Structure 1
């Protein structure tokens, strides 16, 4: 006789407030779907259990709907999940999922297309990014970020510009976390260091800031410079960000593709692996990270006032 499939468990996903509400909600959403599948229960029966529609179950299982404690408990009863440790962990995750995400204090300024990335990056184990035009957002100074944000939308009110600047510059703090910070592996084109943003002084201070960050966080930030010689490999015309999570068995990789009027997200394994291959190829062609500081110091001399 074939062994009975083991019941899914959520105990391997820790309750970590610094990862943010969305990560907890998405991990629990996938777990509820696995529990339903293990119990052999269809979406219609699950929906009847909580007096909702099948589309509501779909939204819950895709992490798109808020989780109510009583509904989750009813679903667990229906799915035959009675283990006290499992139920306690799930209750903790439901509670965490109801809290504000880190970006929500800036909700009126955070572009809607960026919010899924802002919500999930605190839970990342590794962030891999490629930036063909600008210094990566996590590494920008306030004045550099201000000029870029104003250039992207000259009609944006000054108050909202300042709010976006604060939001952008605050993202570096997750890399300074004492407990399990993400690692940022960033590739940017060499021309970024020569492209005038604002004035020579702005560029001088931005490159000085990069040097400071590399010295301050050598294990959290690995910055690669891709020379023009990478040719077609560097012809990707838009920023790419790939997130892999600490609890990756519960959270699938996420890819963010920035576009002029918004962004596209990909989380299917075949898609995320394809973009990760593109990024890894660029990393391999770029100058090794241990040579970046000397490159920055060399470029810095050209911007010295």
Structure 2
């Protein structure tokens, strides 16, 4: 029997281990939902196929639970997915999704609210970050990061502080990888460089670090500094991160909104597009990236 040309396909999603297990799990989750809908099968019927609940099917289709190979195989049978190439790719995604996530080495140090961002950012094609108070986490020096983390968690033991610092330090490595590194566009308020974090020496070395990163990663890292004159456009009082992925047809944009003791995530197109517009406005009124080295040199002089 000829293949259904309207049937959803997962062949366009590549096997890229460097993107992390969460990206593969999320792509597979969305694909299983599309296959079920194309087959005209309700969640309750799908649940009966693998002797589980509708809630479990919902978690599977949103990537919030691990996949069992035999369950996926039985669902594919029920959905009429018979193409050997499709099934082989799905089996590969199941195996990749079962691998540890990037933050799991630092399980005790990775705040639960931050884990979805840590898990998905390696798969991003482009990351836009706005930070009104501090240097973004990817770009912090070890001593700057330690000072910030200690200020937020003054009662945490030294071992956990060190683990949180180590986790923060490794995040920039995705910009250095040889295969499909993301591009990071970071916008910071000019006040970030006037707000003393630690000693003047800590600030001086942090700014030197930013200058060194701009030289090291000219294609992967772009920094913009927003002056106070941006006015209401820059009146976003909390950090915002917008992720866009290499395969938007399988992985929709993700927005991370940092709160003092938690975070919110937005993935509906209407919401992610709204934050994309806010960030685009900020980029438009901030000083151009070409001026950033000179502005950093001026900030550096104030901390000598």
TM-score range, shorter chain: over 0.9
The 10-residue stretch of structure 1 (15-24 or 4-13) with the greater mean CA deviation from structure 2: 4-13
User: In 1, distance between residues paired with 2:105 and 2:58?
Assistant: 28
User: Does 2:294 match 1:294?
Assistant: yes
Distance in 1, matches of 2:12 and 2:203, equals: 45
Map of 1:179 onto structure 2: 179
Q: How is 1:72-91 mapped onto 2 (pairs within 5 angstroms)? A: 72-91=72-91
Secondary structure of 1:178's aligned partner: coil
Map of 1:269 onto structure 2:
269
In structure 2, stretches of 5+ residues that fail to align are: none
The 5 Å alignment of 1:219-258 reads 219-258=219-258
Count residues with an aligned counterpart: 301
Look up the match of 2:197: 197
Which secondary structure does the structure 2 equivalent of 1:134 belong to?
coil
Q: Distance in 2 between matches of 1:301 and 1:65?
A: 51
Deviation at 1:239, TM superposition (A): 0.1
Give, in angstroms, the shift of residue 84 of structure 1.
0.5
Note the C-alpha offset of 1:5: 6.5
Query: TM-score if structure 1 supplies the norm length?
Result: 0.98
Runs of 4+ in 1 over 3 A off after TM superposition: none
Give the secondary structure class of the aligned counterpart of 2:171: helix
User: How far does the alpha carbon of each residue in 1:224-282 deviate from its partner, in whole angstroms, 9 at most, with x for none?
Assistant: 00000001111111000000011111011100000011101110000000011101100
Q: Distance in 1 between matches of 2:272 and 2:5?
A: 28
Per-residue deviation, 1:100? 0.1
Please give the alpha-carbon distance, in whole angstroms, between the structure 2 residues aligned to 1:186 and 1:34. 35
Question: d(CA) in 2 for partners of 1:249 and 1:43?
Answer: 22
Q: Tell me what 1:28 maps to.
A: 28
Q: Secondary structure at the match of 1:112?
A: coil
Q: Which residue of 2 aligns with 1:55?
A: 55
Whole-angstrom distance in 1 between the partners of 2:222 and 2:30: 32
1:45 equivalent to 2:45? Answer yes
> Counterpart of 1:167 in 2: which secondary structure?
helix
